[in-house]
């Protein structure tokens, strides 16, 4: 059990972690998510007693790490797979760590076997691929057969077979009653591995809940609507009708429409009323990735902009109409993952067969995602629709 209470870390004027309180319980895999620079690694280092918190404390089994009796036999960690001396053999690397913790040398050969590095045990680790380095780091974490395990980005650089292996390893370690705390950027991987999530952004706690709760609390399901591709004016017509009825419509890259704020039957009725045929009308439930993006979009430190390629593009022949590219999700489109329009109360469309409604997010659970919900921050649906139709017009014109 890892417990943080009011954990704060400042580096000069910059606050890396602010007032973080959470518990990591034994018996489950707990995922630790957050954008780059959100304070994940700093938190991990504070758990291990490497960095001293400015305020608050973090304990493992009731003790701060530096006071934990026989710490390396209780806690194993993978912080950085590249943190090895490249000139040292893999086996010697593990051997010196084992000796440091009073672990017998035969355990080194055991863990080398567990991570599948027994054949390169006497190779210098500077020749290792990133995936082999990760395996070596995981071997180091397993050395003391600890009850608490911390992994910082363990699947970085692993091949699909390795990812599957890590996933099963985490699950089996948790099933043995251990505490497993894993940070990762790979949402699809987290959705499969973790049962519980701790999400931070800009050093503050954004969410501490189970994966299923997280998705339902932070996702806005939407409907994907496709009109006949041969008749672009039908799409304009439908967009106008849906917008008028209070829906929010965003174009997708392949020409489909993403409709939020209207139930499926209502979309069908509106299309029928506008005399528009539909090729597709499908419900879409958000993935962990979308739920995560929605929650953390306000807390991202490093954001990409649309590549303008000023002065780099070829001169178009006179008279040619430039062909605008459909926007890439998340680039220059701040509201792509925005929460549903406020009047729907966070419920974009009701599932037709009366599926249980997703529990609304607690008001205080999501300070960042709340910001774009303010009417001033979110462009009105009408603005959006005009933008979008403008884009699609241009795109279709040369055809």
Partner 1 sequence: MAAAQVLKSEWTKIRSVSSTVWTLGLALVVTIALGLLISILSKNDYDSLSREDKITFDPTYISFAGMSLGQLAMIVFGVLVVSNEYSTGMIRTSLAAVPQRATFLFGKIAVATVLAFLVGLATSFLTFFIGQAMLGEYKAQIGDPGVLRAVIGGALYMTLIAMFSMGVAAMLRSPMLSLGILMPFFFLISSILGNVEATKKIGRFLPDQAGSKIMQVKSPFDDDTPYGPWGGLAIMVAWTAAALIGGYVLLKKRDA
Q: Is 86 in the site for partner 1 (CB under 8 A)?
A: yes
Token pair in block for residue 91: 């086996």
Q: Pick between residue 44 and residue 191 the one whose CB is nearest to partner 1.
A: 44
Q: Is 50 in the site for partner 1 (CB under 8 A)?
A: yes
3-state helix, strand, coil in the chain (%, to 5): 35, 20, 45
Find the radius of gyration of the CA atoms of the chain: 25
Select the residue interacting with partner 1 from 1, 23, 25, 51 (CB under 8 A). Answer: 51
User: Least CB distance from residue 140 to partner 1, whole Å?
Assistant: 7
Select the residue interacting with partner 1 from 12, 13, 14, 87 (CB under 8 A). Answer: 87
Q: Pick between residue 80 and residue 301 the one whose CB is nearest to partner 1.
A: 80
Tell me which residues in 28-47 interact with partner 1 (CB under 8 A): 45
Output the CA–CA distances (angstroms, integers) from residue 13 to 9, 10, 55, 56, in the order listed. 11, 7, 15, 18
Output the CA–CA distances (angstroms, integers) from residue 275 to 7, 224, 247, 278, 352, in the order listed. 59, 18, 18, 10, 22
CA pair distance 331, 335, nearest whole angstrom: 10
User: Least CB distance from residue 211 to partner 1, whole Å?
Assistant: 28
Task: Kindly report the number of other CB atoms within 10 A of residue 305's CB atom.
Answer: 7
Q: Is 180 in the site for partner 1 (CB under 8 A)?
A: no
Output the CA–CA distances (angstroms, integers) from residue 182 to 35, 40, 167, 323, in the order listed. 14, 10, 10, 44
Select the residue interacting with partner 1 from 21, 83, 272, 332 (CB under 8 A). Answer: 83
CA pair distance 103, 87, nearest whole angstrom: 23
* # chain residues binding partner 1, by CB under 8 A: 34
In the shown chain, the binding pattern of residues 128 to 147 toward partner 1, with x for contact by CB under 8 A and - for none, equals: ------------x-------
Output the CA–CA distances (angstroms, integers) from residue 4 to 10, 47, 203, 205, 356, in the order listed. 16, 8, 13, 11, 34
In the shown chain, the binding pattern of residues 55 to 74 toward partner 1, with x for contact by CB under 8 A and - for none, equals: ----------xx-x--xx--
In the shown chain, the binding pattern of residues 222 to 241 toward partner 1, with x for contact by CB under 8 A and - for none, equals: --------------------
Q: Is 123 in the site for partner 1 (CB under 8 A)?
A: no
Q: Pick between residue 53 and residue 247 the one whose CB is nearest to partner 1.
A: 53
CA pair distance 42, 19, nearest whole angstrom: 13
Q: Which residues does 238 contact at the CB level (< 8 Å), separation at least 6?
A: 225, 227, 257, 270, 271, 274, 276
Q: Pick between residue 46 and residue 155 the one whose CB is nearest to partner 1.
A: 46
Q: Is 75 in the site for partner 1 (CB under 8 A)?
A: yes
Q: Pick between residue 146 and residue 263 the one whose CB is nearest to partner 1.
A: 146
Token pair in block for residue 123: 């190779």
| CA 399 to chain centroid | 38
Q: Pick between residue 42 and residue 239 the one whose CB is nearest to partner 1.
A: 42
Binding residues (CB under 8 A) for partner 1: these are 45, 48-52, 65-66, 68, 71-72, 75, 77, 79-80, 82-89, 92-93, 95-102, 140
């Amino acid at each position: 059990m890892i417990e943080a209470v009011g954990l704060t870390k400042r580096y000069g004027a910059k606050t890396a972690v602010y007032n973080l309180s959470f518990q990591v319980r034994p018996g489950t895999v707990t995922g630790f998510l957050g954008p780059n620079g959100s304070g994940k690694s700093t938190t991990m280092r504070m758990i291990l007693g490497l960095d001293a918190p400015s305020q608050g404390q973090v304990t493992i089994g009731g003790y701060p790490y530096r006071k934990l009796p026989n710490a390396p036999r209780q806690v194993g960690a993978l912080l950085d797979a590249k943190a090895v001396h490249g000139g040292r053999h893999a086996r010697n690397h593990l051997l010196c760590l084992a000796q440091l913790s009073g672990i017998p040398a035969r355990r080194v050969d055991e863990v080398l076997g567990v991570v599948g590095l027994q054949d390169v045990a006497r190779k210098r680790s500077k020749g290792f691929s990133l995936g082999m380095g990760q395996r070596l780091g995981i071997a180091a974490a397993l050395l003391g057969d600890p009850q608490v395990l911390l992994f910082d980005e363990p699947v970085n650089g692993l091949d699909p077979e390795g990812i599957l292996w890590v996933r099963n390893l985490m699950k089996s370690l948790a099933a043995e009653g251990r505490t497993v705390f894993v940070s990762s950027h790979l949402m699809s991987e987290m959705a499969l591995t973790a049962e519980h999530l701790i999400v931070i952004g800009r050093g503050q706690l954004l969410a501490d809940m189970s994966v299923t709760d997280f998705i339902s609390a932070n996702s806005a399901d939407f409907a994907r609507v496709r009109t006949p591709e041969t008749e672009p004016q039908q799409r304009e017509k439908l967009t106008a009708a849906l917008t008028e009825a209070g829906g929010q419509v965003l174009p997708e890259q392949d020409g489909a429409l993403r409709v939020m704020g209207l139930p499926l039957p209502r979309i069908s009725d509106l299309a029928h009323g506008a005399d528009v045929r539909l090729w597709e009308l499908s419900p879409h439930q958000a993935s962990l990735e979308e739920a995560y993006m929605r929650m953390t979009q306000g807390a991202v430190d490093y954001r990409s902009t649309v590549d303008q390629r000023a002065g780099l593009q070829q001169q178009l022949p006179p008279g040619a109409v430039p062909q605008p590219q459909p926007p890439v999700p998340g680039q220059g489109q701040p509201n792509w993952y925005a929460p549903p329009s406020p009047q729907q109360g966070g419920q974009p469309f009701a599932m037709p067969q009366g599926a249980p409604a997703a529990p609304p997010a607690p008001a205080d659970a999501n300070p960042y995602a709340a910001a774009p919900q303010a009417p001033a921050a979110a462009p009105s649906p009408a603005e959006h629709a005009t933008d979008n139709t403008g884009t699609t017009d241009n795109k279709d014109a040369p055809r």
